[in-house]
Structure 1
Amino acid sequence: MSTIYSRIEHARTADAVTRQIEALILEGVLRDGDRLPGERELAAQMEVSRPILRDALKALEARGLLVTRQGGGTQVADVVGEVFAAPMRELIASHPKATADYLEYRREIEAVAAEMAARRATEADKALLSGIVARMKEVHSSGDPDAEAEIDVEFHNAVGECVHNFVLLHTLRSCYRLLAEGVFYSRARIYHLPGARDELLAQHGAIYEAIRDGDPGAARAAAVAHIAYVQEASAEAERTGEWERVAGLRLRHRSDAGAQQVKSRASRTKRSAAAGS
């Protein structure tokens, strides 16, 4: 069975174990919530004694990089964290300009990420992206918007991993956490626009192909085109939603007015009949 952990070569100390796990977290190999192997298995993979491994894990837990949960083993802690505190997320979620600013930021940072990924992606990186795109096509065929939204975030995270820049990787992860939480805009509304799902799939494919082919210019252009489309689609979904809201108000108002008119006519007819008798 393959493993991401490697043998500690020279000084088999807790510090050496700590540095290896730190690097796996920093490089994005280990993500928030990932569970480490059991103590016996991990010690065997690293070829260190269990007391040494235990000391390393305790040190990492004390620093907030790992957490141990009852019945859940040892897991990577939430090291990415939140870009904004909850009150700020609630505030920006209610202001349309925040969505525009967020997408503008994504357009620029994703353009840089895609360009760098095309220059730096290894064969293993490309294989990972290829697998994600294959699953993206399968999910697309199923027509499940929630699953499409989930793999959308996974794809963009994987592009960030291809850059091999720690700061950019974790900045992007924080950015996509906001996307996954739906703070800025509803992707489900975009998916329901005519042709949007097919267009988004094609755009992700174009980004992947440019990275696969090692074409930085095409990768940047594909990333910019993708976010530009999301910007336009978000605005269109917002307009459509507003139109639907107003149309609903009109319909309700006119239905109420019509009912009132019918009621008034009935009342007048009743009074006239009473007067004639």
Structure 2
Amino acid sequence: MEDHGRLLNQLELVVLEKGLQPGDKLPPERELAGQMLVSRNTLRGLLRTLEAQGLVTIKPGSGTFLRSRLAGIAHLHRSSRQAAADQIKAAFLFLPPILGKALQTISVPRINDLQAGNIALSQAMCDGDPLRVWSEIALFFRLIAQETENYFLVKTVEQMFSVDPSFVDHFFQTDRDILEDIFAGHVSILQALRERNAGRISSLTGQYLLSICRALEAGNKFSVWESVSHRSHGEDAHE
């Protein structure tokens, strides 16, 4: 697996050399992969991750378009372990209230979008494609956050689910039961949103994130949850 930070640096150089701005189309996949000296599969994985972060938009049949400036983003890259711990911790803190706020105004069309997303998630799981699974998970929660009509909450959710592709690549080195728990969590959260059941959202989200921790740590040689807890205790000690 290519180093994520190096890939970001390479892509940033291409964007700067071509003077691309938000809204502009990236070069065709074959050309861009050649300029970055990577395989097309590696490039696709990177672009899917950037799409989950809200930095690009992938339009099948049309190409990939910049949504935001990439300048300096590589310098924000951190180790996958530290990033995962930080992001899971942030998710436990902020995701339940964000979903609670979205629940108040969520529309029927958005509920239908989420239902379609769950079908796509199920298919990605059946196909054994970890990057597609993670992209569908990120999209599910980004769509919910958009119902808050708060730009900063949407960006917060995007950052929560923007992890190093090399970390997610091990997603399926885990028990099938864990993946089924994750999918069941999506179904339960969607049902609570449909019923506007604020009382269930917080507990369901917590249970769901525990399943995500179990899945992420199964193929990586450290405990996401222990890392989150350790960092939390360390930060508390310095307050």
TM over 0.5: yes
Which residue is equivalent to 1:67?
24
Which residue is equivalent to 1:229?
211
* 2:214 is equivalent to residue 214 of structure 1: no
* 2:152 is equivalent to residue 163 of structure 1: no
> Between the two proteins, what is the percent identity of the paired residues?
12
Q: Which runs of 5+ in 1 are unaligned?
A: 1-63, 242-277
Cα deviation for residue 122 of structure 1 reads 0.9
For 2:173 and 2:25, locate their aligned partners in 1 and report how far apart those are by CA, in whole Å.
42
For 1:147 and 1:70, locate their aligned partners in 2 and report how far apart those are by CA, in whole Å.
22
- Structure-2 change in CA distance of 1:202 and 1:80 (3 Å): farther
Write out per-residue CA displacement over residues 124-182 of structure 1, whole angstroms, 9 at most, x where no aligned residue. Answer: 11111111112222333333333322222221221222222222112322443x22x43
- Structure-2 change in CA distance of 1:67 and 1:107 (3 Å): same
Alignment of 1:176-215 (within 5 A): 176=161, 178-179=162-163, 181-182=164-165, 186-194=167-175, 195-215=177-197
Which residue is equivalent to 1:117?
102
> RCO higher in 1 or 2 (8 Å CA, sep ≥ 6)?
2
- Secondary structure of 1:238's counterpart equals coil
TM superposition score normalised by structure 2? 0.59
Letter paired with 1:146: L
Q: Which runs of 5+ in 2 are unaligned?
A: 1-20, 29-60, 224-239
Which residue is equivalent to 2:79?
92
For 2:215 and 2:63, locate their aligned partners in 1 and report how far apart those are by CA, in whole Å.
42
For 1:166 and 1:147, locate their aligned partners in 2 and report how far apart those are by CA, in whole Å.
25
For 1:115 and 1:157, locate their aligned partners in 2 and report how far apart those are by CA, in whole Å.
14
- Secondary structure of 1:120's counterpart equals coil
Letter paired with 2:145: G
Contact 1:113 1:160 in 2 (8 A): yes
Pairwise CA RMSD = 3.4
Q: Whose Rg is larger?
A: 1
Contact 2:98 2:148 in 1 (8 A): yes
Letter paired with 1:182: P
For 2:189 and 2:200, locate their aligned partners in 1 and report how far apart those are by CA, in whole Å.
8
How many matched pairs? 172
Contact 1:80 1:173 in 2 (8 A): no
Letter paired with 1:85: I
Cα deviation for residue 212 of structure 1 reads 1.4
